[in-house]
């Protein structure tokens, strides 16, 4: 089995068309067909159902597609590492981050730099599922992810409990705290679940425990835009990480909710290739 064969297979699987796959690969179609057929013979599997009208993946093909992508990602990462070593950039440490972690990151990175003065830190933020995939393939060395983590090939180290606060119209505040059950008639606005599943699951579960399903509001694309809309007469409530109680606008109030809500925060590393400085990371970012 060759990497070239796996790349051809993945390209055909994505295009579901041998001719279009050949165009993407900038080679002739017979070469693609021959290499895919050779791969099928070597594996003893039929990866595609072929007809005069269409090409589809078989069940074996679907499973092999996941494995082939993982192999190619690992190979690409190895090539990147080799290039960095050749260029003298071996001290790069890639960290996946999540919104609202600035204080924790600044404190932890200061400790990390004290332990490894020559290290270069690269931070990147993306949705949790993409963070996990990037750690699994080696594109990221570690990632900070909120909420439960249960993924093959990963180890999640619990580091902190993230408190949650509500942001809502000041008129709905009755005292220093707000009860969830008092928000049944107010639309709940949250980012798309793919962007923050931990927040979604924590809030919806808390609402169900309180005896109601939250009234769905329009998803939040930009927190700043949502604040402006809510300040200017679009009643809704949302939830943010942290415990800041200073209202961003007179028309809005931010503070704790009853019962109190938290989301667990994890340091995620590869189960097979954990960083050698894992203990230092745990101590620095706890």
What CATH number is given to the structural domain containing 78? 1.10.10.10
Residues 6+ apart with CB under 8 A from 241: 99, 100, 146, 162, 163, 164, 165, 199, 263
Instruction: Decide if 120 contacts 90 (C-beta within 8 A).
Output: no
For residues 146 and 271, membership in a common domain is answered with yes
For residues 269 and 202, membership in a common domain is answered with no
Q: What is the pLDDT of residue 89?
A: 47
Instruction: Decide if 240 contacts 164 (C-beta within 8 A).
Output: yes
Instruction: Write out pLDDT tens, residues 222-250.
Output: 888 888 888 887 788 998 887 654 445 57
For residues 167 and 245, membership in a common domain is answered with yes
Residues 6+ apart with CB under 8 A from 228: none
Q: What average pLDDT does the segment 146-156 reach?
A: 84
Residues 6+ apart with CB under 8 A from 252: 167, 168, 169, 170, 227, 230, 231
Comparing C-alpha atoms, which of 243, 247, 207 is closest to residue 227? 247
Instruction: Write out pLDDT tens, residues 83-125.
Output: 554 444 456 788 999 888 888 888 888 887 777 776 788 899 8
Query: Which of 63, 86, 109 lies at the terminal end of a domain, its last residue?
Result: 86
Q: What average pLDDT does the segment 1-12 reach?
A: 86
* Cβ atoms within 10 Å, residue 131: 24
Instruction: Write out pLDDT tens, residues 11-66.
Output: 888 888 888 888 888 888 888 888 888 988 888 888 888 877 788 888 888 888 88
For residues 151 and 269, membership in a common domain is answered with yes
Q: CA-CA distance, 229 to 237, in Å (whole number)? A: 11
Q: What is the pLDDT of residue 98?
A: 84
Domain around 41: 3-86
For residues 253 and 214, membership in a common domain is answered with yes
For residues 137 and 276, membership in a common domain is answered with yes
Q: What is the pLDDT of residue 245?
A: 45
Q: What average pLDDT does the segment 276-280 reach?
A: 79
What is the bridge-based pairing of β-strands 238-241 and 154-169?
antiparallel
What CATH number is given to the structural domain containing 153? 3.40.190.10
Q: What is the pLDDT of residue 214?
A: 92
Dig out the tokens for 272 from the structure.
């097979």
Q: What is the pLDDT of residue 285?
A: 84
Q: What are phi and psi of 30, to 5 degrees?
A: -55, -35
* Structural domain total, the chain: 3
Q: What is the pLDDT of residue 158?
A: 92
For residues 227 and 251, membership in a common domain is answered with yes
Query: Which of 27, 54, 86 lies at the terminal end of a domain, its last residue?
Result: 86
DSSP bridge pairs for 262: 163
Mean per-residue pLDDT over the chain, rounded: 83
Q: CA 267: distance to chain centroid?
A: 13
């Amino acid at each position: 089995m060759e990497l070239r064969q796996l790349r051809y297979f993945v390209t055909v699987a994505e295009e579901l068309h041998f001719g279009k796959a050949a165009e993407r690969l900038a080679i002739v179609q017979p070469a693609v067909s021959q290499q895919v057929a050779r791969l099928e013979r070597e594996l003893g599997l039929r990866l595609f159902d072929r007809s005069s009208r269409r090409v589809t993946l078989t069940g074996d093909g679907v499973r092999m597609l996941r494995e082939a992508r993982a192999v190619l990602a690992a190979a690409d990462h190895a090539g990147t590492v080799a290039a960095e070593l050749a260029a003298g950039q071996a001290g790069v440490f890639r960290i996946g981050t999540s919104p609202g972690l600035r204080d924790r990151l600044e404190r932890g990175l200061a400790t990390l730099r004290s332990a490894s003065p020559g290290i270069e830190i690269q931070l990147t933020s993306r949705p949790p599922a993409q963070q996990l995939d990037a750690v699994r393939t080696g594109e990221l060395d570690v990632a900070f992810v909120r909420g439960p983590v249960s993924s093959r090939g990963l180890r999640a180290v619990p580091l902190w409990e993230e408190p949650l606060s509500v942001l809502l119209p000041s008129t709905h505040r009755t005292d220093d705290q707000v009860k969830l059950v008092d928000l049944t008639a107010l639309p709940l606005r949250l980012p798309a679940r793919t962007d923050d599943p931990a927040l979604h699951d924590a809030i919806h579960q808390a609402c169900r425990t309180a005896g109601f399903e939250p009234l769905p509001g329009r998803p939040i694309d930009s927190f700043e835009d949502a604040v402006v809309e809510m300040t200017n007469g679009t009643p809704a409530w949302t939830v943010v990480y942290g415990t800041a109680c200073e209202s961003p606008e007179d028309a809005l109030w931010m503070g704790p909710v009853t019962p109190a809500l938290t989301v667990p925060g994890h340091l995620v590393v590869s189960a097979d290739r954990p960083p050698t400085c894992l203990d230092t990371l745990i101590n620095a970012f706890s």
